Amino acid sequence: MAALPTPPGPRRLWAALNPLRWLRRSFGYSRAEARGTVGLLVLMLLFIVAPLLLRPELPSYLPDKDQQGLNDMAAQLKAHRSVESGFASRYPKREFKKFERKGSRFPVVARVRLAPFDPNALTAEGWEARGVPHFVAARIVKYGAAAGGFKAKAQVKKMYGLDDSVYQRLAPFMQLPDEAPKREYANNRPGPDGKFPPFGNSNGEGTSGRFPRKPRSLQPFDLNRADTTQLMQIRGIGSGRAKWVVRYRNQLGGYLREDQLDEVFVLRDAPDLRDSLKKYTFVAPGFAPQAVNMNTATFDELYLHPYIGKPRARLIVAYRQQHGPFRSLEDLKKVPVLKPEDVEKMHPYLRFD
């Protein structure tokens, strides 16, 4: 009978289960590679197990304590609202009246029996009592107050929202004429034949009730001395265009040629009006316009001139501060961006004191 094998000792068992030796024998690692592999596996195991071991204990939920905190917070908010009474006083809560009619925001108005009435003396409730809807009744009263009262039934009939059947029922009881009386014009009365003259007044002169007629024969006048009234005598020139002509003249310092009227903003697209102005106006010989002193004028004074403007005025002031005062027109031509034709155009309106 064969003898049973003896169990291995502890040293031989450790040698068989040694991970370093197993790695070296299975994968052909060196001693250092086997130790590095084992160390890496140990670190990976620590990174996996450490969060589970170091996780903090979750707080226990205490419903009674949380409810007490909510009650305290609600009490604080209530006390805060009671202290700030300014907001409530400035913006009081609206109270809407409750009326008897269900689903309606307006009170019920009792109907009255139709009888002759004055539409100008009725209130909105009076119109509603006669069958007019609420919104239309308020509109009728508002229109009557703005128009100074109704003069005829036709005005009531034209009210927006008033049903024709309601108007036909109320019209016989309105104490108003059917149509408004025709207006009489004090300065434009009809002649014996009942017709109105096209441009006639009580004196028979050639003027209308509001605007004087343009004269048919007009003598030329000085463009630099004319005011808006004199300019408005030219056909087609109203108060607006006349003001623009005078304003542009003041900005320039005076017109040197009639051609400068082409530069007026409101006359650029009206060649016929420009021709009329040139026909009835002239520039006096030897007229000297108001010149701008290029050495003392500020930026605000320069840029208002139509031939200079803001960009050129800014460059002129900067060049003057760097190079000193201008002595002549040739010095001004040295300013960058200024073209020779621009300088020649500005020349009559400039001086170099």
Dihedral over Cα of 62, 63, 64, 70: its sign: positive
Q: Is-contact 316 294, C-beta < 8 A?
A: yes
Q: What is the CATH number of the domain that holds 323?
A: 1.10.150.280
The pair of structure tokens assigned to 24 is 């070296």
Give domain status of residue 1, yes or no: no
Question: What's the confidence (pLDDT) of residue 93?
Answer: 58
Domain that holds residue 133: 119-173
In 10 A of CB 267, how many CB atoms?
19
In a domain, 208, yes or no: no
Q: Is residue 86 part of a domain?
A: no
- CA pair distance 194, 270, nearest whole angstrom: 40
Does residue 56 sit within a domain?
no
**Same-domain status, 278 and 296:** no
Instruction: Look at residue 17 in the predicted model and tell me its pLDDT.
Output: 65
Q: Which two tokens stand for residue 145?
A: 């107050």
For CA atoms 200, 205, 210, 216, the dihedral sign is positive
Asked whether residue 228 falls in the same domain as residue 277, the answer is yes
Domain edge (last residue) among 173, 193, 209: 173
pLDDT at site 337 = 80
How many domains does the chain fold into? 3
Structure tokens at 80: 């805060």
Q: What single letter denotes the amino acid at residue 39?
A: G
- In 3D space, the residue among 130, 170, 137, 165 whose CA is nearest the CA of residue 153 turns out to be 170
Of the candidates 261, 282, 303, which is a domain's last residue?
A: 282
pLDDT value, residue 16:
59
CA 324 – CA 334 distance, rounded (Å): 12
- The pLDDT of residue 205 is 44
Which parts of the chain sit beneath pLDDT 50? 1, 96, 98-103, 185-187, 199-209
Same-domain status, 300 and 337: yes
Asked whether residue 128 is domain-assigned, the answer is yes
Same domain for 274 and 296, yes or no, is no
Residue 146 in domain: yes
Contact predicate 252/291, CB 8 Å: no
Q: Are 221 and 280 in contact (CB under 8 A)?
A: yes
Please tell me the predicted confidence (pLDDT) of residue 190.
54
pTM for the model: 0.42
pLDDT per position as a tens digit, 276-285: 888 889 999 9
CB 252 within 8 A of CB 349: yes
Residue 34 counted as domain residue: no
Which secondary structure element, helix H or strand E, spans residue 124, and what is its range? helix 124-129
Residue 184 resides in a domain: no
pLDDT at 135: 86
